[in-house]
């Protein structure tokens, strides 16, 4: 049976087929072509089957988000499928899942490769979204260092002295990587993505309940509970709330929002900034 006879469809590319990214895709995917990229063939099969059984047009590709060539091949496949109107990057590892070096390479450098690659294939009027984190607000980075980050190529990021000297544990590495993600969206919006007439923003979730988040809860439950209790919302967030915000940033109503970050954390960072709550991030 042919479910959809439309041949030329806008393309949505998702790098990292986890629950948060797929929830965003579902909000915008009706009538469009979905391309899922992930390192796990098993996960791709599971997620793509779920999409197909829900009536969506989906293709998959195994992508190693640590490797520049693999990410560039993913971008090229997306472009071969049609006009790439949406790109979402959720690939990353959490502090209790990886070493500092692995986190920097995946969450920071790998994301940079993706921003670079899709900056060459996005269609006019398209939009991108990087999933950062509330942690990007937890450790201020000096202005001169942020200027170095903005001036550096993706390949040069690991050589920045501040990053090498500060990212000595997985928590600090994660915080730095997520702040860099926010800066990567800012820089691309003004340079490479601007040349394509496409927008790109980042979104920084707080504590969101996902299957992978349970690993973090098990490893550092007391810290997470303290953040939940200190937040104005006094609860965790859901992937549906992230999907709502993500769909807005990618959609037409956000057409004048470009190169910025949306913090959606229930008020955790507000509590930290106002002195109600503090955390040791070193």
Query: pLDDT tens digit string along 220-256?
Result: 778 889 999 999 999 999 999 999 999 999 999 999 9
Show the tokens assigned to 59: 């293709």
**Separation of alpha carbons 4 and 20, rounded Å:** 26
**Separation of alpha carbons 86 and 178, rounded Å:** 21
Residue 175: count of CB within 10 angstroms of its CB: 24
Count how many domains the chain has.
1
Q: Which value, in Å, is the radius of gyration of the alpha carbons in the chain?
A: 18
Q: Whose CA is closest to 208, among 181, 185, 227? A: 227
Q: Residue 219: its pLDDT value, please?
A: 73
Residue with tokens 């590319």: 13
Q: How far is CA 230 from CA 80, 96, 241, 268, in A?
A: 47, 22, 20, 7
Helix (H, G, I), strand (E, B) or coil at 208: strand
**Separation of alpha carbons 162 and 140, rounded Å:** 12
276 lies in some domain: no
28 lies in some domain: yes
114 lies in some domain: yes
Cα 203-155-192 angle, rounded to 5 deg:
55
pTM for this predicted structure: 0.95
* Residue 86 annotated to the active site: no
Q: Residue 113: its pLDDT value, please?
A: 98
Helix (H, G, I), strand (E, B) or coil at 75: helix
Q: Residue 50: its pLDDT value, please?
A: 97
Give yes or no for a contact between 115 and 68, defined as CB atoms under 8 angstroms apart. Answer: no
Residue numbers in the chain where pLDDT is lower than 50: none
Helix (H, G, I), strand (E, B) or coil at 105: helix
Helices (H), the chain: 19-28, 41-53, 68-81, 100-103, 111-118, 143-151, 161-166, 170-190, 192-195, 213-230, 239-250, 268-273
The CATH number given to whatever domain includes residue 15 is: 3.40.50.720
280 lies in some domain: no
Spatial CB neighbours of 273, under 8 Å, sequence gap ≥ 6:
none
188 φ, ψ (degrees, to nearest 5): -65, -35
Q: Residue 234: its pLDDT value, please?
A: 95
Give yes or no for a contact between 66 and 106, defined as CB atoms under 8 angstroms apart. Answer: yes
279 lies in some domain: no
Question: Residue 82 carries which DSSP code?
Answer: S
66 lies in some domain: yes
**Separation of alpha carbons 15 and 37, rounded Å:** 5
Domain range enclosing 150: 11-211+238-267
Q: Residue 153: its pLDDT value, please?
A: 98
Q: Is the Cα dihedral 55, 31, 48, 60 positive or negative?
A: positive
* List 77, 86, 113, 178, catalytic entry: 178
Spatial CB neighbours of 209, under 8 Å, sequence gap ≥ 6:
236, 237, 238, 239
* List 33, 86, 174, 187, catalytic entry: 174
**Separation of alpha carbons 14 and 168, rounded Å:** 30
Helix (H, G, I), strand (E, B) or coil at 63: coil
* Residue 178 annotated to the active site: yes
Q: Residue 282: its pLDDT value, please?
A: 55
218 lies in some domain: no
Q: Residue 51: its pLDDT value, please?
A: 97
259 lies in some domain: yes
Q: Residue 281: its pLDDT value, please?
A: 63
Give yes or no for a contact between 266 and 237, defined as CB atoms under 8 angstroms apart. Answer: yes
């Amino acid at each position: 049976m042919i479910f959809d006879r439309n041949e030329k469809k806008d393309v949505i590319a998702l790098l990292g087929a986890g629950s948060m990214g797929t929830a965003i895709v579902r909000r915008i995917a009706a009538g469009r072509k979905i391309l899922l990229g992930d390192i796990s063939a098993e996960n791709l099969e599971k997620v793509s089957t779920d999409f197909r059984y829900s009536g969506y047009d989906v293709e998959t590709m195994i992508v190693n988000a640590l490797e520049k060539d693999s990410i560039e091949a993913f971008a090229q496949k997306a472009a071969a499928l049609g006009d790439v109107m949406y790109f979402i990057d959720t690939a990353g590892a959490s502090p209790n899942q990886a070493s500092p070096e692995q986190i920097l390479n995946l969450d920071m450098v790998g994301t940079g490769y993706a921003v670079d690659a899709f900056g060459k294939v996005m269609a006019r009027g398209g939009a991108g979204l990087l999933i950062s984190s509330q942690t990007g607000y937890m450790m201020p980075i000096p202005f001169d260092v942020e200027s170095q980050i903005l001036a550096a190529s993706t390949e040069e990021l690991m050589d920045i002295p501040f990053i090498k000297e500060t990212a000595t544990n997985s928590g600090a590495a994660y915080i730095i990587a997520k702040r860099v993600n926010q800066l990567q969206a800012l820089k691309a919006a003004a340079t490479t993505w601007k040349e394509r007439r496409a927008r790109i923003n980042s979104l920084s979730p707080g504590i969101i309940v996902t299957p992978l988040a349970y690993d973090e809860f098990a490893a550092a439950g007391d810290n997470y509970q303290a953040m939940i209790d200190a937040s104005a919302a006094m609860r965790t967030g859901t992937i549906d709330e992230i999907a709502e915000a993500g769909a807005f940033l990618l959609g037409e109503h956000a057409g004048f929002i470009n190169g910025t970050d949306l913090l959606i954390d229930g008020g955790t960072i507000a509590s930290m900034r106002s002195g109600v709550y503090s955390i040791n991030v070193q």
